[in-house]
Amino acid sequence: MKEVQNIGKRMPYAESEDYLNRLISQATEQAISQGQKAKTRPLRTWIAAAAAALVLIAGLTITYFHTNNAEEQIAEQTTTGPIDQFLNNLTDDEAQQLAYYEIEDIPEYY
């Protein structure tokens, strides 16, 4: 059986200096290229935010003017219907009697 002291201590994987230098240079080049892309990203973000704000403002403006036009149309309608005429012609006593008026149960036929 082998003794623990006689086992050689070395790294399980061996990398050559050439491999390490290539790895470092590739990582450096990739970091530099990503840094240049990061500078253009805020510009795209600002453009997208401005477009979203423009769409939001346009939607709110259209909704505001559409709501105002609907209110004007409702305010212009002054004709009264037959139910309004009937209720306007009631006396106070008749109006109180309406509150106490009950409809008897309507029989159901099967």
pLDDT tens digits, one per residue of 42-59: 778 889 999 999 999 999
Produce one character per residue of 53-89: b if its CB has 16 or more CB atoms within 10 Å, e if not: eeeeeeeeeeeeeeeeeeeeeeeeeeeeeeeeeeeee
92 vs 99: which has the higher pLDDT: 92
Q: For 86-89, which contacts have Cβ atoms below 8 Å and span 24 or more sequence positions?
A: none
pTM for this predicted structure: 0.31
Task: Quickly state the pLDDT bin for 68 (edges 50, 70, 90).
Answer: low
Please, what is the Cα angle at 46 between 44 and 47, to 5 degrees?
Answer: 65
- Tell whether the model's pLDDT for residue 70 goes beyond 60: no
- Cα 57 to the chain's mean position, in Å? 15
Q: Is the dihedral of CA 13, 17, 18, 23 positive or negative?
A: positive
Q: Tell me, what's the pLDDT at 71?
A: 55
